[in-house]
Amino acid sequence: MSLTYSSYQEFHRASIEQRDAFWAEQARLIDWHKPYEQVCDYSQPPFAKWFAGGQTNLCHNAVDRHLANRPDQNALIFVSTETNTEKTYSFRELHAEVQRMAAILQAQGVAKGDRVLIYMPMIAEACFAMLACVRIGAIHSVVFGGFASHSLATRIDDAQPKVIVSADAGMRGGKVVPYKHLLDEAISLSSHKPAAVLMVNRGLADFAKVEGRDIDYASERERHLNAQVPCEWVDSTHPSYILYTSGTTGKPKGVQRDTAGYAVALAASMKHIYLGEPGETYFSTSDIGWVVGHSYIIYGPLINGMATIMYEGLPIRPDAGIWWSLVEKYKVSVMFSAPTAARVLKKQDPAYLTKYDLSSLKALFLAGEPLDEPTATWMADAIQKPIIDNYWQTETGWPIMAICNGVEKAPTKFGSPGKAVYGYDIKLIDEATGEEITEPNKKGVIAVEGPLPPGCLQTIWGDDARFVKTYWSSIHNRVMYSTFDWGVRDADGYFYILGRTDDVINVAGHRLGTREIEESISSHPNVAEVAVVGVADQLKGQVAVAFAVLKDPAKAATTEQAKAHEAEIMKVVDDQLGAVARPAMVKFVNVLPKTRSGKLLRRAIQAVCEGRDPGDLTTMEDPAALQQVKELVATK
């Protein structure tokens, strides 16, 4: 019997108050080999076991089950503007390639429960490797391609993979980024040694082969061309993958995901949040090294019977119209990107935004960092499509806050990622008392009452105690999952993210969120992008320091102009937030330091400002960006 809902509010309430019945209904969206016996076993909080007693397989749900109805439909569309390569795989062809990869892994002794580390660029073989792992019950751990050897070594030691799948190189902005020497060094640094390294040779960079360990993918694929590898049916709670959270220092935190809960959560999100339909095309511009790449390049769209575009390249190469040309060519219905990408496009010729036919596109979803109102408004006006923010984390695997238009159409409020998503019992908590904040527009820590819904992390790989201590012990006198983000909720139930609880600046006893100051500075008409960090100060404890990219740098070309511009921006902050929030200085830069996935490196900026080591910068988009920050700080 299907539950019926007259509103999203009712839908959300049912997901909390009638949890088991609600999720049993969503569980119909996937195939089961063996029915589950219990929807949610929460007998050992905060550990939740979703769909306990059941058996399924992620690869079956993403690939095999579509062979009956859509075998020749596009499944994977690989596009590289770096190598000028474009290739489509139908569900039938993807099924064959995944079985070949699975056979190769099995030939190297990989079995259910073994780990396989994937260190690859955005190429089709990376997708094959991920799906092949879950097909045979192995646990994949994707590490962002080009990640530094030391950081890669820590992940090898933590996951202890039997096999590593890699490639000779990736490409970025027309430049080859060799991987093999980084991988070899990482293996030499790590205590754990993989039995084999499977190499995809793209012919981009020469590399030395390690005899007895390194094997060639192309020749192995030939050997297994006709491989038939059945799906390994695994328990609902069987780990599907480990994904290490970015920015981790010391021992990395491996987010461990289950199988059935993840499949159900993604299938439901495609229906209720992203409005994707089987047979349509989904385009996420992320990378498989990040959680968005796992959930909404590989698994989510394929589980939903959609084609998914896997893109290697920049949003502005060969020109700023490349993404939109793909939307037109493949009739993309749903697109998912990051606010940073929108800001990059904001600096390009606006003609590219109207050059292509975007009639197939229902909406552009943005996530990964807070979406500021000016950028959202600009993008909505530019492409004349809904711009929908959503908020989530590596740990959750799918949105915590969003607009669930698949349940009930609701307006977007620019600057807000939306309302609490079904399954998440979100509370705003007073940091000092641990009490829940119920009145609107009052700042608190965003927390979730357990159990977390399906698809969220089960634990930290190999470290249950750290899972409990990190995520469930920081709220005063409460066992609740902390997002470590500040937020407010308005009278309509829309949330606004104010920044990390650990990015709070304490200026002379006043607690200020960097996000609030950034939002204020962004409202200045000549500011394209801004990053605000808290910097240690002998007098005030901390002060805010801002680095801004200007739309028209010529207006601050001379020292006098820069000072005048800085004064203007400070006045904007004074007027909006009060003098206490005014930055100690505003410096103008050509580009902000970011990772290649578009996240601002706030901690690295802060470290440079305080004269500390900024740490591992191998995922940085432009190393010169941090050097400019360093020079500006030195000349303050």
Query: Is residue 627 situated within a structural domain?
Result: yes
Residue 307 has what pLDDT? 98
Ranges of the chain with pLDDT below 70 = 1-3, 246-250, 502-504, 508-511, 597, 616, 618-619, 636
List the strands of the sheet with 480-489, edge to edge.
425-429, 444-449, 480-489, 495-500
Structural domain that includes position 582? 508-634
Question: What is the per-residue pLDDT for 340?
Answer: 80
Number of domains forming the structure of the chain: 1
Tokens 């394209």 belong to: 528
Residues 6+ apart with CB under 8 A from 380: 386, 387, 414
Helices (H), 387-523: 464-472, 514-522
- pLDDT tens figures, 129-140: 999 999 999 999
Residue 580: per-residue pLDDT: 79
Domain annotation covers residue 519: yes
**Assigned domain for 306 exists:** no
- Please check whether residue 500 lies inside any domain of the structure: no
Q: What pLDDT score was predicted for residue 250?
A: 53
Note whether residue 48 is domain-resident.
no
Is residue 596 domain-resident? yes
Across the strands, what pairs with 606? none
Closest C-alpha among 280, 261, 273, 393 to residue 331: 280
Distance, in Å, from the CA atom of 123 to the CA atom of 102, rounded to the nearest integer, reads 17
What does the pLDDT read at residue 143? Answer: 94
Using alpha carbons only, give the angle 333, 56, 126 rounded to the nearest 5 degrees. 55
Report yes or no on 81 lying in a domain.
no
**Residue that is written with structure tokens 């390249």 in the block:** 313
Determine the pLDDT at residue 66. Answer: 98
Residue 247: what pLDDT?
39
Query: How far is Cα 205 from Cα 177, in angstroms, rounded to an integer?
Result: 8
pLDDT of residue 170: 96
In a domain, 267, yes or no: no
The whole-number pLDDT of residue 248 equals 35
* pLDDT at residue 347, rounded to an integer: 84
H-helix or E-strand spanning residue 542: strand 541-550
> Interhelix angle for 559-577 vs 514-522, to 10°?
120
Radius of gyration of the chain (CA): 24
Phi then psi for residue 547, to 5 deg, are: -125, 125
Q: Which residues pair with 401 in a beta bridge?
A: 391, 420
Q: How many Å apart are CA 331 and CA 328, to the nearest integer?
A: 5
Q: Quote the tokens at residue 553.
A: 């740098």
CATH number, domain at 563? 3.30.300.30
Copy the structure tokens of residue 431.
Answer: 């940091």
CA atoms within 13 A on the CB side of 412: 22
